[in-house]
Amino acid sequence: MAELVIKIWQFGQLAEMTAQYKDKPPPAHPSSIDTAVQTAMKAEPDMKPAFVAFPGTIFSSKSHYAVFMRGNTPLTAKLLKPALIDAETGVLTDSRKLPWYVATLLISQPLHFGDYGGMPLKIIWAILDIITIVVLVTGLYLWLRRRQSGVSVERAVINASASDHRPVYTS
């Protein structure tokens, strides 16, 4: 899933951003990564570098360093913005926000790893999980009991209550 989303971005927005480099050969004398990071930080002073993708990897074109910048609030820290740096000249060529489908994937990451909200939220998750499991198991138990011939919850209740002559609901 994540790989598919990245692929869509790679062939969509990334290809668009690096269209003029399509027929260029990969850089023969790559420039310094340190300079690339400095250039990206200068372009986005309010963001911090998260990671750098090398030329030719899935997160970049074959001619660029992609410096992925992230914001500094809890929400924007998950949202990355790649700054594409020409790996030959060290010049910033483009920087665009990731499209909504990648942003959605990035925002949903803590939901999968549960690494947010601190220890109290983890405990709350655990208790809610246990409650859900109990509901599931008791439901399965009742359903399986119903299917056994001769053993009927309803009949057992009616027989038990027949002695004290009071109407009951067998819910």
Partner 1 sequence: MTRMPLHPRRQTNGQIFAIPMVLGVLSVIGLVSALVGDGFWDGVSWVTLAIPILLCGYFLLKRG
Site string for partner 1, 102-131 (x = CB under 8 A): -----x--xx----xxx-xx--x--xx--x
Taking Cα atoms as reference points, which of 92, 89, 87 lies closest to residue 69? Answer: 92
Site size for partner 1 (CB under 8 A): 23
167 binds partner 1 (CB under 8 A): yes
CB nearer to partner 1: give 28 or 127: 127
- Tell whether residue 169 is a contact of partner 1 (CB under 8 A): yes
CA-CA distances (angstroms) from residue 168 to 89, 144, 150?
84, 23, 21
75 touching partner 1, by CB under 8 A: yes
Is the Cβ of residue 35 or residue 132 nearer to partner 1 in the bound state?
132
DSSP bridge partners of 80: 70
Position 149, amino acid: S
Nearest distance in Å: CB 96, partner 1: 22
User: What are the φ/ψ torsions at residue 61 (nearest 5 degrees)?
Assistant: -90, 180
Is 89 or 108 the residue whose CB approaches partner 1 more closely?
108
Backbone φ and ψ for 64, nearest 5 degrees, come out as -130, 145
Beta-carbon count within 10 A of 107 CB: 12
